């Protein structure tokens, strides 16, 4: 069967001519010349191989074939308009999907207020938030399963990924009330490393940063416990079994048990947090809108607010 190729401009002209019954009125409403309209209708009849209008000196009327074609033409235009409206809605982030991968400390501490603000502005965008370790974040973004990722400064710009630093997250000491950190002051790393410690597993960005700092400064680091989850570290610390050192963004993940938080120095240790995306790829509109929101907010003040909420001395 031969395919009939018609463009939507010609179909709209046909439908309007069927409505007005006048070449002159139709041409005026379309803002085109009568000869242009006549050529459009002739092309449709040539391509459909059907006479669609009966013509006299003043008016035109649909033939039976024309009436059948009008039903099809209106269906085509309705489908086209609906599809274009849907695409316009997608482009303007009225609908769509946003998939974010991030470190657990970032997804629990930094992102919730930003996502709440984003969803208030874009209530019909579906947001999927996946928390995982740094390697998982990199993999999800690189494979295209996540639009953007939030992770520690463990990647440089490559052919596959781009990284933008957003903020620096300071390490603090965490202990149980009445324990080693009960004195309200700033502690030195050498002091806390002499105590029983719980450390995050070696696959985490937190552990990588602490290990590198200990090597650089000649500190011995022999943790009593090693765990994969921040909540587990918080539970062990709350029982007075140990203390720990963690970036301030991790505080919301430690659980509900009473804990004390103290500043650390000598050295002041920072974890740099940033976002990653696939290089050379145009982000979906929802991801672009969320990135604009993130870049426009003072994330340092948000981190400071989290620290204040948890009474970091």
Residue 134 or 159, more confident: 134
DSSP H helical ranges for 218-284 = 230-238
pLDDT confidence tier of residue 260, bands split at 50, 70 and 90? very high
Q: Looking at residue 3, what is its pLDDT?
A: 63
Task: Tell the CATH topology of 8-91.
Answer: Arc Repressor Mutant, subunit A (1.10.10)
Measured between alpha carbons, how far is residue 63 from residues 12, 43, 51, 171 in Å? 18, 17, 7, 80
> Are 300 and 167 within 8 A, CB to CB?
yes
pLDDT per position as a tens digit, 285-307: 999 999 999 988 877 665 665 55
pLDDT confidence tier of residue 1, bands split at 50, 70 and 90? very low
pLDDT confidence tier of residue 2, bands split at 50, 70 and 90? low
d(CA 109, CA 138): 20
Angle at 49 between CA 46 and CA 50, to 5 degrees: 105
Domain spans of the chain, in order of start: 8-91, 93-313
How large a percentage of the chain has pLDDT more than 90? 61
> Are 107 and 115 within 8 A, CB to CB?
no
pLDDT per position as a tens digit, 179-224: 999 999 999 999 999 999 999 999 899 999 999 999 999 999 999 9
Q: Of 60-74, 98-112, 149-163, which gets the smallest average pLDDT?
A: 149-163
Q: How many residues does the chain have?
A: 313
The model's pTM = 0.70
Angle between helices 8-20 and 64-91 (to 10 degrees): 130
Q: Looking at residue 301, what is its pLDDT?
A: 64
Mean of the pLDDT values across residues 231-254?
94
pLDDT per position as a tens digit, 92-127: 667 789 999 999 989 988 899 999 999 999 998 999
Measured between alpha carbons, how far is residue 35 from residues 18, 32, 40, 66 in Å? 17, 8, 9, 20
CATH for 93-313 (3.40.605.10, 3.40.190.290, 1.10.20.10, 3.40.50.620): 3.40.190.290
Residue 46 or 197, more confident: 197
């Amino acid at each position: 069967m031969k395919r009939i190729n018609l463009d939507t401009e010609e179909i709209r002209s046909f439908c309007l001519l069927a409505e007005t019954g006048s070449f002159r009125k139709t041409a005026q409403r379309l803002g085109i010349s009568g000869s242009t309209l006549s050529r459009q209708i002739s092309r449709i009849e040539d391509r459909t191989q059907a006479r669609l209008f009966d013509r006299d000196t003043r008016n035109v009327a649909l033939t039976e074939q024309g009436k059948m074609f009008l039903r099809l033409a209106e269906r085509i235009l309705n489908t086209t308009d609906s599809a274009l409206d849907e695409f316009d809605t997608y482009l303007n982030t009225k609908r769509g999907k946003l998939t974010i991968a991030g470190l657990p400390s970032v997804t629990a501490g930094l992102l919730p207020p930003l996502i709440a603000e984003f969803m208030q502005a874009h209530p019909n965008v579906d947001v999927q938030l996946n928390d995982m370790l740094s390697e998982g974040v990199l993999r999800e973004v690189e494979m295209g399963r996540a639009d953007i990722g939030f992770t520690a400064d463990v990647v440089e710009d490559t052919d596959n990924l781009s990284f933008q630093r957003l903020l620096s997250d300071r390490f603090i000491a965490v202990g149980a009330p009445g324990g080693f950190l009960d004195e309200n002051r700033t502690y030195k790393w050498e002091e806390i490393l002499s105590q029983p410690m719980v450390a995050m597993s070696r696959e985490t960005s937190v552990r990588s940063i602490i290990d590198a700092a200990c090597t650089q400064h000649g500190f011995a680091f022999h943790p009593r416990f090693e765990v994969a989850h921040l909540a587990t570290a918080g539970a062990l610390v709350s029982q007075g079994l140990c203390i720990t050192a963690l970036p301030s963004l991790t505080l919301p993940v430690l659980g509900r048990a009473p804990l004390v938080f103290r500043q650390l120095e000598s050295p002041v240790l920072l974890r740099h947090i940033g976002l990653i995306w696939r290089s050379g790829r145009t982000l979906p509109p929802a991801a672009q809108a969320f990135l604009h929101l993130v870049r426009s907010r003072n994330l340092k003040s948000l981190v400071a607010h989290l620290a204040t909420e948890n009474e970091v001395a």
